[in-house]
Amino acid sequence: MSGQHSQNVHAFEHPGLGRKRARSTPKGRQVEPRALQEIAELLGERPRRRDLLIEHLHLIQDRYHQISAAHLAALADEMRLSFAEVFETATFYAHFDIVKEGEPTLPPLTVRVCDSLTCAMHRSEELLESLTSAVGPSVRVVRAPCLGLCDQAPVAEVGHHFIHAATTQGVLAAIEAGDTHPHMADYVDYDAYRSGGGYDLLDSLRSGERSVDSILAILDDSGLRGLGGAGFPTGRKWRAVLGEPGPRLMAVNGDEGEPGTFKDRHYLNTDPHRFLEGMLIGAHVVAATDAYIYLRDEYPLAREILTREIAKLPPGGPEIHMRRGAGAYICGEESSLLESIEGKRGLPRHKPPYPFQVGLFGQPTLINNVETLYWIRDIVEKGNGWWNSHGRNGRTGLRSYSVSGRVKEPGVKLAPAGVTIRELIDEFCGGMQDGHRFHAYLPGGASGGILPARMDDIPLDFGTLEKHGCFIGSAAVVVLSDHDDIRGAALNLMRFFEDESCGQCTPCRAGTQKAVVLMQRSVWDQDLLGELSQAMRDASICGLGQAASNPLTCVMRYFPEEFMTRDAAE
């Protein structure tokens, strides 16, 4: 049978057997020569490695303000990848504006208006509608999830310039002036940091004057935990990575996308070398050959500062790589972050193995949050006695609370760990805004649940909120007043999770979507919502789906008046 088939093929192809040769026609997507030339020139001498795919997509987006199908095909050809590989990665991330074949090109300028909870409380929906009708055809206005400036709500982003307390007139003025780039702010640069004793600790570690074991012992005794949300003991994590065979790598999670969180932005924009020294100390302790800083795309100023200051560092230590996120909240999950650094879609990995065993590029990897590394120098130099001298209500240490909402003085508040919401509002935030009565609060960002004002005496720290169906997470505190709709707040948060679900697992993908539909009804089916929430918690792959229902279940548990009032109205 195979021989007969071979003969038939040969007869068909042989020009002397009286049968016409089939006309050769191009198969698949063809690369346009002009697009290929543009991509080759844009990439220049940059490597064409697979892990740089997202970085190269950013180059196209920055240059052309969109990514055409022709440029995607040319990039795939230039990087020796299939078009499908490039397309699926590019379309996964919200900040890549993909223009498919036959579609009109996009306007050259995009304005993003944040619609997450704190901005929504400050009428960002009205701002969005007003701008949409006010701008011309050369400007595109879109809604965006949290931009990391909740203390300045409402926020709009014109290009890469952020408008604080945005108004329609203010945004239009920025557009008219062509003000589309981040504004540089004052910060502690390399020389100033060095003059204040910066990098002395790192130098003593590298010279052997101070041992790795001494650093690990201090971290163990301090009780410092991961401040990105998970709260894993820092010393134990470093020891776990060190216990794996090399080579080892390090990754910094600077992708704080949780609505209400902006502490990392504050520290990176003001004192970047304190974070960098902590990172380099961690890399030295675990003998990491390379360190990757993954920074969310909404932080262009921090990226510019870090790029500038890293160039000033003396030689020695790991090679530092900057990686730029592209608008995907899921990449704050550690395994999704690793996938994104590798140039792929940010889909969470199944565990085990854990990243400290098999992480970035298959190597044991130390992953730390920006703020965790920020505190390393102070804890080691000042000692555990200094760190543990802080704290309230039986807790120890310091916490950076990102506070937004209905307080007079929102912002990053450095306060004793274990402070209560009432203490935080009254002592650190100047009290409630005039005309607003404290009604509810989010103790740990969008996924940390919602508690009523009557539960104002709970220490805000690890391990104190779980029995109430909440957690501290990254200490993003959003304060709501009697002017705010609690059910509407929970719906806003669920819409965020629906939009940000990576879609890999059904409980999260379908669960968040179904929850939004049910929560939009005037009367909630609480039994069905409770069953749905439990399925999401039990069966989702990662923390996004597992925690997405926390605000929903808290509203049903702690705010029965919301349902009695509305049910009676029905």
Query: In this predicted model, which residue has the larger pLDDT, 449 or 184?
Result: 449
Residue 18 has pLDDT above 60, yes or no: no
φ/ψ region of 412 (left if φ > 0, alpha if ψ in -120 to 50, else beta) reads beta
Residue 6: pLDDT above 50?
no
The answer to whether residue 491 scores a pLDDT higher than 70 is yes
What integer pLDDT is reported at residue 288 of this predicted model? 98
Q: Are 98 and 65 in contact (CB under 8 A)?
A: no
Q: Report the DSSP beta bridge partners of residue 322.
A: 293
In the prediction, which pLDDT does 351 show? 94
Mean pLDDT of 240-266: 96
444, 11, 452: which is closest to 256 by C-alpha? 444
Average pLDDT estimate for 6-30: 48
Q: Tell me, what's the pLDDT at 289?
A: 98
Residue 96 has what pLDDT?
Answer: 97
Q: What's the pLDDT band for 13 if we cut at 50, 70, 90?
A: very low
Predicted local distance difference test score (pLDDT) of residue 366: 98
What is the C-alpha to C-alpha distance for residues 440 and 486, in angstroms, rounded to an integer?
8
Q: pLDDT tier at 5 (50, 70, 90 boundaries)?
A: very low
Residue 8 confidence (pLDDT): 40
Look at residue 113 in the predicted model and tell me its pLDDT. 98
Q: What is the largest CA-CA distance in the chain?
A: 95
Whole-number Å distance between alpha carbons of 222 and 234:
9
pLDDT-derived band at 561, boundaries 50, 70, 90: confident
Q: With a cut of 50, say whether residue 359 has pLDDT above it.
A: yes
Q: In this predicted structure, what is the pLDDT of residue 87?
A: 97
**How many Å apart are CA 170 and CA 145, to the nearest integer?**
20
**Which tens digit of pLDDT belongs to each residue from 23-51?**
554 455 689 999 999 999 999 999 999 99
pLDDT score, position 28: 59
> What gap in Å lies between CA 234 and CA 255, rounded to an integer?
19
Please state, for a pLDDT cut of 90, what percent of the chain lies above it: 91
Q: Is the peptide bond before 353 cis (omega within 30 degrees of 0)?
A: yes
Give me the helices (H) in 47-165, please. 53-64, 69-79, 83-90, 117-121, 124-134
pLDDT score recorded for residue 564: 61
- How far apart (Å, rounded) are the C-alpha atoms in residues 442 and 449? 6
Say how far apart CA 242 and CA 261 lie, in whole Å: 30
* φ, ψ (nearest 5 deg) of residue 321: -120, 130
Q: Where are the strands (E) in 356-491, listed by range? A: 365-369, 398-405, 411-416, 438-442, 451-452, 476-481
pLDDT value at residue 492: 97
State the pairing for strand pair 398-405/411-416. antiparallel
Q: In sequence order, which residues have a C-beta less than 8 Å from that of residue 271 and are 6 or more positions away? A: 187, 188, 193, 374
pLDDT at 230: 85
Backbone angles phi, psi at 297, to 5 degrees: -65, -20
Q: In whole numbers, what is the pLDDT of the chain averaged over residues?
A: 93
182, 265, 272, 300 from 187: Cα distances, Å: 14, 12, 8, 15
The CA distance from 236 to 223, in Å, is: 10
Q: What is the pLDDT averaged over residues 336-364?
A: 97
Task: Name the pTM for this structure.
Answer: 0.93
Instruction: Go through 411-449 and write b for each residue having 16 or more CB atoms within 10 A of its CB, e for each that does not.
Output: bbbebbbbbbbebbbeebbeebbeebebbbbbbbbbbbb
Closest CA to 439 of 486, 489, 384, 374: 486
Whether pLDDT at 429 is above 50: yes
Phi, psi for residue 80 in degrees, rounded to 5: 60, 45
Q: Is 468's pLDDT higher than 50?
A: yes
499-532 pLDDT, tens digit per residue, is 999 999 999 999 999 999 999 999 999 999 999 9
Summarize pLDDT for 98-138 with one digit per residue, the tens: 999 889 999 999 999 999 999 999 999 999 999 999 999 99
Q: What is the pLDDT of residue 30?
A: 83
Q: Which of 376, 468, 374 is nearest to 421 (CA)?
A: 468
pLDDT at residue 562 in the model? 82
Which two three-digit tokens encode residue 481?
């007043």
**Which range, of 1-10, 76-85, 460-469, averages the lowest pLDDT?**
1-10
What span, in angstroms and rounded, lies between the C-alpha atoms of 52 and 343? 6
Residue type, 371: E
Instruction: Return the SS3 of 452.
Output: strand
- DSSP states along 194-231: HHTTTTHHHHHHHHTSS-HHHHHHHHHHHT-B-TTTT-
Q: Using one digit for the tens of pLDDT, what is the confidence trace for 376-412?
A: 999 999 999 999 999 999 999 999 999 999 999 999 9
- Asked if 366 and 295 touch (Cβ cutoff 8 Å), the reply is no
